[in-house]
Amino acid sequence: MAAYFCGCARCTAGAITGPLMLITLGGLFAIDQFGRYRFHQTWPVLLILYGLMRAVAYMMPSHGDG
C-alpha cells in the first residue's frame, strides 16, 4: 500500500464524502434553478449528508475488508 492511501472502509467513506458533497451541492443548485425548491430551503440536506457520512465513517471498521 502506498503511503497516502488506505483502502479500509473508514477511509473509503472519508474519501468519497467530498465528492458526494460536491454532487449534492450541484444537484441542489440545479433544483434551485430548474425545480420548485429554492436553495435557501434545501441547504440543510448538505448538513444531513455530511453528518451521515461522518457517522458512517465512524462506524466502519478501520482495518476491515481492505
Q: Which of 8, 25, 46, 56 binds another protein (CB under 8 A)?
A: 25
Choice from 8, 20, 56, 60 touching another protein (CB under 8 A): 20
Per-residue burial over 29-47, b = 16 or more CB atoms within 10 Å of its CB, e = otherwise: eebbeeeeeeeeebeebee
Out of 8, 9, 29, 50, which residue is the one contacting another protein (CB under 8 A)? Answer: 29
CB 10 within 8 A of CB 57: yes
Residues contributing to the site for another protein (CB under 8 A):
1-5, 7, 11-12, 14-30, 32-33, 39-40
